[in-house]
Structure 1
Amino acid sequence: MKIGVIDYGMGNLFSVEQALKRLGCEVLVSADQTSLLACDALILPGVGAFQDAMKRLHDTGLIALFDKVVATNKPLLGICLGMQLLFEESEENGHWQGLGIFKGYIKQFSGKDSLGKSYRVPHMGWNDLQFAKSPTWLDQLPEERYVYFVHSYFATEMDEGDLIAYAEYGDVRVPGIVQKGNVTGMQFHPEKSGECGVYLLQHWLRAVEKGVATL
């Protein structure tokens, strides 16, 4: 099975590539749309600022790739910033349009809960996932549910039907896994999330191989 990692100049490409290889995948890291679309599934990684990432996707001509991904029902997994880019808009350093695959708005943690108690921003470290439902690609929920987050922004105003799992931070319900059709997003880093991260990534890959990774 061949997995394409979308290289637009921003992302934790090496760690994602190595995690996929450890799970037995052939990996293509590329910005070439034809080569990427020939893969069995795609991964959109991301580290950095939302507006910089969207600019890079425009500059590399990769924006059109996502229309083709949706049209052909090819499985796509967005990781961390890569998940946030799948939403409609972000307020990070201004107001920016995203890819619009998921309904919703990327908002910054305020750093204070409704009672005025401060909490740390960014949300960094291990947190437990709570599953709203089981995705099509996961036949059994993991026993170990702690995953590793590093982010200052989170998805809000999303379609509740797209929410798979969330974590609680401060008084915020942070979407951790989302899915709409053939597109899945993980706010945390599965490749850095120990037993649970490997479990989730492995099951997504197995579902891709079986052709059942979509709703």
Structure 2
Amino acid sequence: MSKKIVIVDYGVGNLLSVARAFEHCGADVSLQDRASALTDTSRMVLPGVGAFGDCVDALRSRGLDQAVLEHVARGRPLMGICVGMQMLLDASEEFGSHDGLGIIPGVVEAIPRMDHAGNVLKVPHIGWSPLLPPEGRNNCWADTPLSELKTGTAAYFVHSYHARPHSEDHRLADAEYGGQRITASICREAVFGTQFHPEKSGEVGLSIVRRFLEAA
């Protein structure tokens, strides 16, 4: 039997490519733009592309932020993708200060503009980068949507900002950019997020989608 999943449609994000990835993995996908339609879903996906402020304003203008918060309060699985992941944190510094959903304590910061040698890095960070466990937490992927991946497996990124959780326990995976660690994935209980795009990461991304669909 297929797993039902709702993708939050607030007018921003790669909705169709995200939907296709979940459908490919056997999910029964519904795109919903009304808060009333989000009250009884078992699994939810919050996508996002563009600037943090625009995304969170669009989410709130439709009253969908409260639906997301109520879903999380019920302990049900939620997956945030790219800016959708960033909105799970308290705030972002992108183009000013913007409040997030406050589901995972932390802030969204600019990725490094220079490497350790002082060389200017290209921003945004676009392309395939290996996923790494945070330093000192080599076994943290067990029982998460990343559990089938090997250290160093690459995923596809497009971003200029990244999450900085206050607790290292909420940092699930890193990538390296200019020799410096940036956050690739975060999690807290049933809430999971990726800075990279699973829907653009081939079989690697599909394995993550399948594992999310298996969440309790």
**Residues 20 and 139 from structure 1, CA distance in 2 versus in 1: closer, same or farther, beyond 3 angstroms?**
closer
Q: Describe the SS at the equivalent of 1:87.
A: coil
- CA–CA distance in structure 2, aligned partners of residues 125 and 138 of structure 1: 21
CA contact (8 A) 1:28 1:36 kept: no
- 2:212 aligns with 204
Is residue 99 of structure 1 aligned with residue 101 of structure 2?
Answer: yes
- CA–CA distance in structure 1, aligned partners of residues 146 and 81 of structure 2: 21
- CA–CA distance in structure 2, aligned partners of residues 21 and 130 of structure 1: 28
- CA–CA distance in structure 2, aligned partners of residues 13 and 91 of structure 1: 25
Deviation at 1:177, TM superposition (A): 1.4
Deviation at 1:142, TM superposition (A): 1.6
Q: Describe the SS at the equivalent of 1:175.
A: strand
- CA–CA distance in structure 1, aligned partners of residues 118 and 211 of structure 2: 40
- 1:113 aligns with 115
CA contact (8 A) 2:89 2:165 kept: no
Deviation at 1:139, TM superposition (A): 8.2
Aligned residues: 208
Deviation at 1:138, TM superposition (A): 4.4
The AA in structure 2 aligned to 1:12 is N
- 2:44 aligns with 42
- CA–CA distance in structure 1, aligned partners of residues 156 and 112 of structure 2: 20
The AA in structure 1 aligned to 2:38 is L
Where in structure 2 are there 5+ consecutive unaligned residues?
A: none
CA contact (8 A) 1:135 1:179 kept: no
- 1:166 aligns with 174
- CA–CA distance in structure 2, aligned partners of residues 118 and 167 of structure 1: 18
Structure 1 residue ranges, 4+ long, deviating more than 6 angstroms after superposition: none
- CA–CA distance in structure 2, aligned partners of residues 14 and 180 of structure 1: 27
Paired residues for 1:73-92 under 5 Å: 73-92=75-94
Is residue 190 of structure 1 aligned with residue 198 of structure 2?
Answer: yes
- CA–CA distance in structure 1, aligned partners of residues 128 and 101 of structure 2: 28
- 2:132 aligns with 130
TM-score (norm 2): 0.91
The AA in structure 1 aligned to 2:141 is S
**Residues 140 and 68 from structure 1, CA distance in 2 versus in 1: closer, same or farther, beyond 3 angstroms?**
closer
- CA–CA distance in structure 1, aligned partners of residues 174 and 30 of structure 2: 30
TM-score (norm 1): 0.91
- CA–CA distance in structure 1, aligned partners of residues 15 and 109 of structure 2: 25
Q: CA RMSD in A?
A: 1.6
